[in-house]
Each structure stands twice: as C-alpha cells, then as structure tokens.
Amino acid sequence: MAPKQLLREAADRLGAAGVASPEHDAGELLAHVLGTTRGQLFLVTEVDTAHATRYDELLARRAAREPLQHLLGVAWFRHVEVAVGPGVFVPRPETELLAGWAIEHARAVVAVGETPVVVDLCTGSGVIAKSIADEVPQARVHAVELDPPAHAWAERNLAGTGVELRLGGLATAFDDLAGQVDVLVSNPPYVPLEAWESVAVEARDHDPHLALFSGDDGLDAIRVIARRGVVLLKPGGVVGVEHADVQGEAAPAVFSGSGHWEEVRDHRDLADRPRYLTARRPR
C-alpha cells in the first residue's frame, strides 16, 4: 500500500479516537515500523503487508489511548532521549522550559569558576537530570525518585551520565548536601485528587498515579519542596518547580507565603499558560 494512503487513513482513525495530534502520531508510528524517521517517509514508495500489519497493531493501541511514547519506547526531550514505558511518567515538552531554566542557572555558576551542585527531586524517568548533565557537563547532578518502578527507568536512563541517583523521598533525601546546592529543580506531582476525571486518558490510565496526584489541592508536594529547599540550597541558591496551569497563583503563594524565599516568580509556557515557579533563598 502507498504510505500516503496509509497515513491518511491512520490519521482519520486516530482523530476519531480523540488523539490530540493524529497526523503527527500516525507519522511517528509508521516511521517506527519502517525503521526510519518521519521526515524521511516521503522516500518510501510502498509498505509491504508485514509492515502494514504491524502498523495496524500499533494504531489500534494508540487509538485505545496508549501513550505514543510507550509504543515507540522512547521520549525526546531537549537534546536527549530517555526510555519510557509502563511504570514511569512520560516527559512532556512543556517541562523543557523548566529544564532550560535550571541549565541556565547552572551555567551561571560555571561562569564564575565554580562547580554547580544541582538536585532534581521527583526525577521520574531522569529526563531533567539527564538534560542538565548533557548540557552542563561541569555540574554535579543528583536525582531522587521514590517509586521503585520509576527509579528503575531512571537508573537505565542515567547510566553513564555521571548523575548520582538515589531511591527515596523528596522530604528526606540529600541530607548530606544540606546548604550546598546551587540549583534545585522538580517536576513533582501536582494534580488535585478531585481533578481525576479531567486528566488526559493517556496520563490517567498509564502514568503512575504517584507521579500525578498530590493531595486535595494538588500542592502537597510543592509545600514539601518549599520546606526542603530551605535546607538544601546554599544562600542565594535557586529553586524551580513545575505546576498545573491553574496553579499560577496558588503554587508561587506556597513560597511567598512562607517567609523563607525572595524573588518568587511564575513563568508561562509556549502556549502562554502558567507552568513553573522560581524562587531564591536569601543570601
């Protein structure tokens, strides 16, 4: 069958199933089956029966709202990729902005001739920590994950990067780094329990609930980070935390209301939605 016809039918099928980006996903899945890239599909003149059958199987799973990244086995993020699958949160593109903020501040420490110490709390797949280690090789990067299945994915993804990974909770990890951290970064769980039905099917049914939900208002983990940051960061150190787009006021208020932070700001993503907060520990 001609690939154009396959792709057209596949996109219609995924769109009817409620997939948000049917053309993109149809192309990625066909490229995956054929062992090429989406940009090179125009070079393919025909798809044989065996590949078409495999493609149909993957389309059925995607139409059932299994995450695209699970079907591909990887997620791309900034300049790195990580292996993902059942048991670990799939990285989202909007989190690249938070990672970029952390990278910028780690580079600022390098610029004054020092070695930045960076901690990634709730690391999940390890993608933020891996990006920082990739783009700021001078940094000493540490990461922690509470959930054993997710920790196993992070262990796989961070092997050979130099990142020190630990299994543990964000409230107690890294006592040995108290007062030494330059940059603290986290994409924690932040979905309110009452918002369960509003979560996208791909996340609700396939991402670990430990990585999604955080108390009645979704701010429980962020409150812990606000307290823990005071312990871990050196004077003048900075913290960045992702939050839900409806928490653009509530999440920063956790920090500004504690009396322990200055320069509390909120930042928007590329869709102009509130996405992450930053703050500095007073010098």
Domain boundaries, the chain: 3-64, 75-280
**pLDDT for the residue 68:** 94
Per-residue pLDDT of the chain (283 residues; tens, 9 = 90+): 788 889 999 999 999 999 989 999 999 999 999 999 988 988 888 999 999 999 999 999 999 999 999 999 999 999 999 999 999 989 999 999 999 999 999 999 999 999 999 999 999 999 999 999 999 999 999 999 999 999 999 999 999 999 999 999 999 999 999 999 999 999 998 877 766 566 677 777 777 777 777 777 889 999 999 999 999 999 999 999 999 988 999 999 999 999 999 999 999 998 999 999 999 999 9
**pLDDT for the residue 277:** 98
**pLDDT for the residue 128:** 98
Q: 58: closest CA among 99, 96, 17? A: 17
**pLDDT for the residue 216:** 79
What one-letter code names the amino acid at 147? D
157 is an annotated ligand-binding site residue: no
**pLDDT for the residue 215:** 72
CB 243 within 8 A of CB 276: yes
Q: What's the CATH fold of domain 3-64? A: Helicase, Ruva Protein; domain 3 (1.10.8)
**pLDDT for the residue 118:** 98
In whole angstroms, what is the distance from residue 165 CA to residue 155 CA?
7
* Residue 56: half-sphere exposure toward Cβ, Cα within 13 Å: 8
**pLDDT for the residue 208:** 72
**pLDDT for the residue 195:** 63
In whole angstroms, what is the distance from residue 268 CA to residue 170 CA?
25
Which phi and psi angles does 184 have, rounded to 5°? -115, 130
Q: 75: closest CA among 135, 15, 121, 130? A: 130
187 is an annotated ligand-binding site residue: yes
Q: What's the CATH fold of domain 75-280? A: Rossmann fold (3.40.50)
**pLDDT for the residue 273:** 94
Catalytic positions: 89, 187-188
189 is an annotated ligand-binding site residue: yes
**pLDDT for the residue 79:** 94
